[in-house]
Amino acid sequence: MDTSQLDPTKLDAFIARALADLSAGYGGVMVSLGHRLGLYKAMAGAGPLTARELSGRADCAERYVREWLGSQVAGGYVVYHAISDTYELTAEQAFVLADEDSPVFLPHAWNVPASMWLDEDKAVQAFRTGRGVAWGDHHGRLHCGVAAFYRNAYRASLVPQWLPALEGVVEKLSAGALVADIGCGHGHSTIAMAEAFPASRFHGFDTHRESVDAAQQAAAAAGFAHATFATAGATDYPGQGYDLICFFDCLHDMGDPLAAATHAAATLAPGGTVLLVEPFANDRVEDNISPVARMYYSVSTMVCCAHAISEGGRMVLGAQAGESRLGDVFRKAGFTRFRRAAQTPFNLILEARL
Ligand SMILES: C[S@@+](CC[C@H](N)C(=O)[O-])C[C@H]1O[C@@H](n2cnc3c(N)ncnc32)[C@H](O)[C@@H]1O
């Protein structure tokens, strides 16, 4: 390569950018360790601690803890007090790293890139052959990581914000409605709704049996008989007359989203509603330039598109489909009303009605 053509300022800026990303990749493993070993939790609210004190609290070997702390300080995840050789997790850092119920608790999310690294060979094959990779063929860290990452968002937003943003849905759920949660995964969305609306009946469906088992166990642990789960696809789940049909972060994963929307139209009760929650995206690639869009396009490359292709890939939307393309799917399926009911930095919350 003729390096005389390189602009040194642009080169330095890009090297700094790429290096920061590489550093973040190393840091992600440290975040996962900090979570799994209880290091963040041992620091939360404890004030300044020496490495020895932290190792005692978390029952870990001091030498490893000291080095891990160094990585945390270098990355801005922990504050270091040089004068006392102590380390402190601020309240803001604890909210993101130690509070499992916080809507911005991030350690679980590192399971997703962890699974992507483990499945890299499958992606190489898929690129070469054009064949798909089914959701269930990925490493289990993907399924747990996605479920845990979205769980807190659902707990924070679904019942207090998203359902009230839909026309008349909360009233129906309070009085007793029939709900289908399609592609329910580990069932966190279904269970959050079942907890809030005991007079309604909730049926979660998913093609991935292990996820359905996990959802059944979670509902049993919560003692919810009005939330049941079954292995079924978006175009063949049983039942009719659903007042609310939900798709949480799954329509774009399906090989035939139009057929899924058409089946929803056929199984809705008169006056029923479809709640479509999709990854946040603008309609055009040039408007999807952000850390969140980068995460979604990346997981979409290896997981979402790959799964849709494994299901025949009639329409491979990808995780950055955007409202306009999603609206087209529902209009083609016979829905006459489609609107954005709410949004967060991570999700579009869309409402479709016949
Ligand atoms: C990204 S996960 C989302 C899971 C869950 N809704 C959540 O928000 O945590 C996508 C889910 O869609 C399911 N899925 C994919 N294609 C499906 C289909 N054709 N019918 C039903 N479920 C499907 C997958 O098995 C997976 O559990």
Centre of ligand 1 to C-alpha 160, Å, is 23
**296-322 tens-digit pLDDT:** 999 999 999 999 999 999 999 999 999
Give the separation between CA 315 and CA 304, rounded to whole angstroms. Answer: 12
Average pLDDT over residues 9-29: 97
- Band of residue 149 on the pLDDT scale cut at 50, 70, 90: confident
Q: What is the pLDDT of residue 49?
A: 98
Rounded distance, CA 140 to CA 161, Å?
31
Task: Look up tokens 């946040």; give the residue.
Answer: 280
pLDDT (tens digit per residue) in 27-81: 999 999 999 999 999 999 999 999 999 999 999 999 999 999 999 999 999 999 9
Residue 182 CA, ligand 1 centroid: distance in Å: 7
Q: Would you state the pLDDT for residue 244?
A: 98
How far apart CA 16 and CA 9 sit, in angstroms, is 11
Residues contacting ligand 1 via CB (< 6 Å): 135, 146-147, 150, 182-185, 188-189, 206-208, 211, 233-234, 248-250, 253-254, 307, 311
Q: Which stretches of the chain are DSSP H helices?
A: 8-36, 39-43, 51-58, 62-75, 91-97, 111-118, 120-129, 140-153, 169-175, 188-196, 209-222, 257-267, 291-299, 305-310, 323-332
Please give the DSSP secondary-structure letter assigned to residue 287: G
* d(CA 151, ligand 1 centre) in Å: 14
Query: What's the distance, CA 270 to chain centroid?
Result: 31
Residue 205 confidence (pLDDT): 98
Whole-number Å distance between alpha carbons of 16 and 55: 34
Query: Would you say residue 2 has pLDDT above 90?
Result: no
**Mean pLDDT of the region 197-210:** 98
Q: Classify residue 180 as exposed, middle or buried by CB count within 10 Å of its CB (0-12, 13-18, 19+).
A: buried
Under the banding of pLDDT at 50, 70 and 90, the label for residue 131 is very high
Q: Residue range 23-29: average pLDDT?
A: 98
User: 3-state class of 45 per DSSP?
Assistant: coil
Alpha carbon 303 to its chain's center: 12
Contact criterion met (CB below 8 Å) for 105 and 152 = yes
- Which residue's structure tokens are 């699974």? 115
Helix (H) or strand (E) holding 88: strand 86-88
